[in-house]
Amino acid sequence: MSSAFDHVSADLSTSIEELSDLLRIPSISALPEHAGDVREAADASAEALRRVGMEKVHLEQYENGNPVVRGDWLGAPPGAPTLLLYGHYDVQPPDPLDEWISPPFEPAIRDGKIYARGSSDNKGQFFALVKGLAALFQAHGSLPVNVKWTIEGEEEISGRSLFKYLEDHKQELRADAVFVADNNFPRAGLPAVLTGLRGLVYTEIEVQGAAADLHSGTYGGGAPNPLNALGWIIAGLKDTSGHVTIPGFYDRVVDPSPEEMESWRRLGIDEDRLLRDEIGSDAFFGEAEYGILHRLYARPTLDVHGIRGGFSGDGSKTVIPARAVAKVSMRLVPRQDPNEIFEAYRKRVVELATPGTRVTVRALSLDQPVSAPVGGRGVQALARAFRRAFDEDAVFVRMGGSIPVMAAFQKHLGVELIASGFGLPDDRLHSPNEKLDISQFEGGIKTTTALLEELAG
C-alpha cells in the first residue's frame, strides 16, 4: 500500500513544476479579455488528464460558456466502485496587483509554499487529485476504482455550464460518489470532511398599501403603511430568542450525529474571538440552547437582507409609501425541503398581513441543503485516507453557506458527496498572495491515492 505514497514523494518536484505550468495561465473567468487564457487552461487540464492515463478526454462547451473538461478511466476490476472527480480551472481576478509580493501568474516558492493565483482555489487542489491517480498508476499500473472527471471553468462566475452538463449526462456520469476538493483544513494538521451544507430559500415580500404614496399628516391613522406592515411580518417570522415561528419549520430538522458533535468540540472554537474579532459585537444572537457551531452549521435560520420603499435618505420626508419590499432568506439544514418550507413561509406571511395591505411572496431561489452523513461509505473512506496521509483523525464539519456545485451533484446525479479539501485557512483565496503549502499539496496527492484504495475496500 505504501508504494503509491513513495511515488508521490519521489515525484513531488515534477508535480510542482507541472502545477506551476498550469498556474502560469491567467484563466480569469470574470474578465472577457482573458477568454483565450481560460480556453488554454481548459486545454492544459485536458492534457493533464490525458497524460495521467484518462481516456476519451474532451471538452464539452455550452453556447458561449467555458468548456467542461471530461475524461474517464473505467478499467477497474469488475464490481469496483466508480468515483467522480471535480475541479475548476478558472480563477479569481488578482487585484489589487500591487499587494502581491510575487506576480500572481508567476508561481514562486517561499517557505515551503507556492504563491500564485489559483494555487489553492482550485488548480493546486484538483491537480493533487490528478497526481494521486498518476502515483497509483506508477505503483500498480492501474487504478483500484473507476474514475470519471469533470473540470469546469465557470466556478468563480457562478456559471451554469457544468449544471447543464450534469443534467444532460446523468447516465454517462453515473458513479458511487463524487469527490470535491475545494475547501480547507480548519487548521494546519487537522483534516476535515464536510458532512453538510445549508440550503437557501431566498424570497421577496412585497406589501402594497395605498394606490400611491401618501402624506402621513393627511392620512396617518387611516391609511395602511406597508413598512409598518413589514415590521409585523418580520417580527412574526422569528421571535427575539431566534426561533423561527413558521408552523412546521423545524419538523424535519434532525440533530447532528454524535460523531459530528464530538468533532465540533475537537475544533475548540474560540467563541470570544469569533464574537469580538470576527463578528465584532458584544453578544451573539440566536437560539441560546444550542452551541454556536451547532447554530451556524446545523440549525436553520431566517434573515432579512434589505427593505425597499418610502424614503430613506437624509432629512425628514413624511411619506406613507404605497409599496414596500423586503428581501428575506432562510438557511435550511439537511432533510428540510425548500419547496415545503417556502410554502409554509408564504402561508405565514400572508396570515400576518394587516388590514388594507395586499401581500405577495416570491421565491428568488430554492436551493437544497446538502447532506454527506458521517456513516457514508465515501466519507468513511476519506476519513481513513486522511488518517493515512496526514497521520491525524479527520474532524467532521459543516458549512453554513451553500456551494452550488455540491448541491448540483446531489440533485442531478444522486451520488454520495465526499466534500473536503487540502487548503489551509490562511491561503488567502480571492485575495493577493494566494498560496498553497507544498506539504498540503503532497498530503493531498497521498490522500487521493489512499481514498481510491480505501474505496476499493
C-alpha cell at position 122: 482550485
Amino acid at 270: D
Q: Which residues are bridge partners to 323 per DSSP?
A: 208
In the set 81, 321, 338, 378, which binds a second copy (CB under 8 A)?
Answer: 321
Listed in sequence order, the residues at least 6 apart from 384 whose beta carbon sits closer than 8 Å to its beta carbon are 450, 454
Q: Identify which of 349, 354, 138 has the alpha carbon closest to the alpha carbon of residue 229.
A: 354
- Note whether 200 binds a second copy by CB under 8 A: yes
By beta-carbon proximity to a second copy, the closer residue of 64 and 316 is 316
Amino acid at 387: R
By beta-carbon proximity to a second copy, the closer residue of 166 and 201 is 201
In the set 214, 397, 413, 424, which binds a second copy (CB under 8 A)?
Answer: 214
Say how many residues touch a second copy, by CB under 8 A.
82
The answer to whether the beta carbons of residues 421 and 182 sit under 8 Å apart is yes
- Note whether 235 binds a second copy by CB under 8 A: yes
Amino acid at 293: L
d(CA 203, CA 434): 35
d(CA 56, CA 359): 54
- Note whether 282 binds a second copy by CB under 8 A: yes
Window 346 to 375, contacts with a second copy (CB under 8 A): 354-358, 364-365
Pairing type for strands 146-152 and 82-88 reads parallel
- Note whether 210 binds a second copy by CB under 8 A: yes
In the set 50, 169, 327, 411, which binds a second copy (CB under 8 A)?
Answer: 327
Site string for a second copy, 146-185 (x = CB under 8 A): ----------------------------------------
- Note whether 272 binds a second copy by CB under 8 A: no
In the set 59, 157, 223, 253, which binds a second copy (CB under 8 A)?
Answer: 223
Three-class DSSP category at 258: helix
In the set 87, 209, 376, 423, which binds a second copy (CB under 8 A)?
Answer: 209
d(CA 370, CA 410): 7
Q: Which stretch in 82-90, 97-105, 178-186, 230-238 sits in contact with a second copy by CB under 8 A?
A: 230-238
- Note whether 308 binds a second copy by CB under 8 A: yes
